[in-house]
Chains A and B, each alone.
Chain A
Amino acid sequence: MALLQVEKLSIHFGGVKAVQNVSFAIDAGVVYSVIGPNGAGKTTLFNLITGVYQPTAGSIRLDGEAIEGRSPNELAERGVARTFQNLQICMNMSALENVMVGAHLQLDRNPLKAALRWPSLRRRDDALRQEAAQLMNFVGLKDYVEARADSMPYGALKRLEIARALAMKPRLVFLDEPAAGLNPKETLEVDHLVRKMADSGVTVVLVEHDMKMVMNLSDRILVLDYGKKLAEGTGEEIRRNPDVIAAYLGTH
């Protein structure tokens, strides 16, 4: 059975049908990319699956369990993590704390124990500090372990979001344009990072405009256009698909 099964998913904003009747399935352990021209509904699809939007119709199943209409924090409990196209970093916290907050659900959140500096809680927090530093190292942010989030450059913040998502120890990670706005060197680093994530057993769903990166990384690709599914298949199948070529290059 597929890890994620999406059936006939739709959402309408007033008269705008942002996502229409989209169905696909993602197997565990793959890198799955969603591509399409600007405004095709890629981010909306992410927002639907991660609970930020409620679908108008259709079903989403994670490991067989219906999850449509669940709130983002309930999905987090089920091992779904994501990053954002427009950065969502907590600028009022340090870089390391941004990663640590990713481990929220694995921790003892009792405020009374926290206020009393409960020893078991302190020990767990100290260990978490180390784990978070290791994660920052993993995503290539070793130099920023002591930094404040608001003093970091854009490219580093993109990777900080990935580190935060990984701190959740997720089964399924949605990366929304992780390479957008990055220079070629940084893009290559993110490329390697996604590969490393996939190798560590996390299922990765990727929205990305950098076609080299998409073709290089993806096991399967879903193409959206005007909110509809245009094609789905391996990189080679997508590259040859006449509908995809028409949507991207236009026909004359």
Chain B
Amino acid sequence: MSMSKSVNKRVYGGLYLIAAILLVLPWVLPNSFYLDIAVRMAINAVIVLGLNLLVGFAGQISLGHAGFLGIGAYASAALPTHFGWHPLLAMGAGALACGVLAALVARPIFRLKGNYLAMATLGLGIIISIALRNETQWTGGPDGMPVPAMGLFGFELSSDRQWYWVVAALLVVSVWASLNLIDSPFGRALRALHGSEVASQVVGVNVARYKGSIFVMSAAFASIMGSVTAHYVGFVTPNFADFFHSIELVTMVVVGGMASVYGSIIGAVLLTALPQALATFEGWETVIFGAILMACMIFLPKGLVPTLAARWSRKE
């Protein structure tokens, strides 16, 4: 199997490239504004990676993912503020809460497919967002609330540069883990139930359980990333958990490429950078943003990375 080995090498080659870029980046970025954007890109990349495992690889749409991010973010804001919990403990509690919530709703939700599944997850996300907006005594309501600083092993994460290294490490580990996961018995079962549910069933995949477990994992992972974002930004508002944020994340998955690890990163990087780059077109930025997305969907329906990869391998 010399060929499949070399394919593997090429797949993991991207990981080294990302690590190399991340190592060099802080030294070439002109100022802290760019560093801040780099951190946001990396955070979004990790979030989108987790979402792509659910949407792209397992084929289960979620339009409520920002709800899980919101639970994590507010756990990190509210639990240390109101009860004096350690931020790491609060982060764990948020992830646990998301995992339990996802497990509870997974059974009824995953009987649905396609548009109906999209509607159900959309509803779930909206409920979470409304709850966060209305529980004013705990969450600060529509104004949001400040998030205490994250302390790790006695020293406090404060500067953008420290955050950069933490988030960069998270991204590299997430890419590595995702690549491993999709090329494993668990990952193949997920992709198989996407490809043909009945075929995966007859080879012994418990479809309901697999859909449930990837949903739970994806939700808990989103919650952790919500916590990370909250600590980095230092402030949370209900907008972080709302429908538009969910749509933005799904758009990153689709533009970058469904079922593509590197597509997730490209999608997150581009769609995080685009609004910044378009800021010069005062008032027109959302129009141009929309036009670019439409062009992407028309000319690259499978997403940037898979389309370009297919074109590249054809040339070879």
Please give the distance in Å from B251's CB to the nearest CB on chain A: 21
Does B202 lie within 8 Å of A93, measured CB to CB? no
Does A114 lie within 8 Å of B259, measured CB to CB? no
Max count, chain A CB within 10 A of own CB: residue among B176, B196, B203:
B203
Cβ < 8 Å to A, chain B residues 174-191: 176-178, 180-181, 183-189, 191
**CB < 8 Å neighbour of B203 from A76, A93, A117:** A76
**CB < 8 Å neighbour of B185 from A90, A108, A130:** A108
A104 to B183, CA, bound (A): 13
A109 to B180, CA, bound (A): 13
Whether, in the assembled complex, A237 has its beta carbon less than 8 Å from a beta carbon of chain B, the answer is no
- A interface, by DSSP: helix, strand, loop or mixed? helix
Given the known inter-chain contacts A93-B188, A114-B181, A116-B177, please indicate yes or no for A102 contacting B203, CB distance below 8 A: yes
Known: A76-B201, A98-B192. 4 other contacts (CB 8 A): A73-B202, A88-B199, A102-B203, A121-B185
Does B185 lie within 8 Å of A125, measured CB to CB? yes
Does B199 lie within 8 Å of A89, measured CB to CB? yes
Max count, chain A CB within 10 A of own CB: residue among B3, B181, B183, B185:
B185
Does A111 lie within 8 Å of B203, measured CB to CB? no
**CB < 8 Å neighbour of B198 from A88, A115, A164, A167:** A88
Whether, in the assembled complex, A72 has its beta carbon less than 8 Å from a beta carbon of chain B, the answer is yes
Cβ < 8 Å to B, chain A residues 133-186: 133, 146, 164, 167-168
The 7 closest A-B pairs by CB, nearest first: A90-B195, A114-B184, A76-B204, A88-B199, A107-B185, A115-B177, A105-B204
Does A109 lie within 8 Å of B198, measured CB to CB? no
Give every chain A residue within 8 A of B207 (Cβ-Cβ).
73
Q: Which residues of B contact A (CB under 8 A)?
A: 1, 3-4, 176-178, 180-181, 183-189, 191-192, 194-196, 198-207, 213, 217, 259
A193 to B198, CA, bound (A): 24
Cβ < 8 Å to B, chain A residues 64-97: 71-73, 75-77, 81-82, 84, 88-93, 96-97
Given the known inter-chain contacts A82-B202, A89-B199, A129-B4, please indicate yes or no for A109 contacting B191, CB distance below 8 A: no
Does B202 lie within 8 Å of A90, measured CB to CB? no
Give every chain B residue within 8 A of A76 (Cβ-Cβ).
201-204
Does A97 lie within 8 Å of B188, measured CB to CB? yes
| CB-CB nearest in chain B for A108 | B185
Give every chain B residue within 8 A of A102 (Cβ-Cβ).
203
Whether, in the assembled complex, A20 has its beta carbon less than 8 Å from a beta carbon of chain B, the answer is no
Give every chain B residue within 8 A of A125 (Cβ-Cβ).
183-185
Does A114 lie within 8 Å of B186, measured CB to CB? yes
| CB-CB nearest in chain A for B202 | A72
| CB-CB nearest in chain A for B194 | A92
21 A-B contacts, Cβ less than 8 Å apart? A52-B198, A73-B204, A81-B202, A84-B198, A89-B196, A89-B199, A90-B191, A91-B195, A92-B191, A93-B188, A100-B188, A101-B205, A102-B203, A107-B185, A110-B186, A114-B180, A114-B186, A115-B181, A115-B184, A121-B185, A167-B203
A77 to B202, CA, bound (A): 9
Does A104 lie within 8 Å of B189, measured CB to CB? yes
Whether, in the assembled complex, A203 has its beta carbon less than 8 Å from a beta carbon of chain B, the answer is no
Max count, chain B CB within 10 A of own CB: residue among A52, A91, A93:
A93
Given the known inter-chain contacts A90-B196, A114-B181, A115-B180, please indicate yes or no for A104 contacting B205, CB distance below 8 A: yes
Give every chain A residue within 8 A of B188 (Cβ-Cβ).
93, 97, 100-101, 104
